[in-house]
Amino acid sequence: MERSLFLARLLGPTFVAIAVGMLVNLGMYQTMIAEALHPGIVFYLSGLLSLLAGLAIVNLHNRWQADWRVIITVLGWLMTIGGIIRIVLPQVAIAVGSTIYSGRASAIVAALIIGTLGAFLSFKGYRRRA
């Protein structure tokens, strides 16, 4: 199986599950996000895991073609950069995260964006091939 399809099949359903979880349990997710945006081991570990996952994607799939596959590459680079920032400049990451998740509406918008991206990647990964 092509790497792009494998990664789309991996990331797509994961993003959909996260988005549905956020929308169904919005209050709980807002609490978890607020707790995660404090300096500490959870914040550091999230940066480490993001860095590792991002580097894995970038090393397996660093394709800058003008089609849907570039989304996977961009996600890999965003995860890598986000992980580095959380590890090296946690105060910046906390400020950015606090701005993005500043209220109920922004959490809903984030969930809808994540869900749409997940649905698109799932479609690309699991659709029938001719």
Read off the pLDDT of residues 57-79 as tens digits, 9 standing for 90 and up. Answer: 999 999 999 999 999 999 999 99
pTM of the model: 0.89
Read off the pLDDT of residues 18-27 as tens digits, 9 standing for 90 and up. Answer: 999 999 999 8
Q: Output the pLDDT for position 1.
A: 59
Q: Do the Cβ atoms of 53 and 81 come closer than 8 Å?
A: no
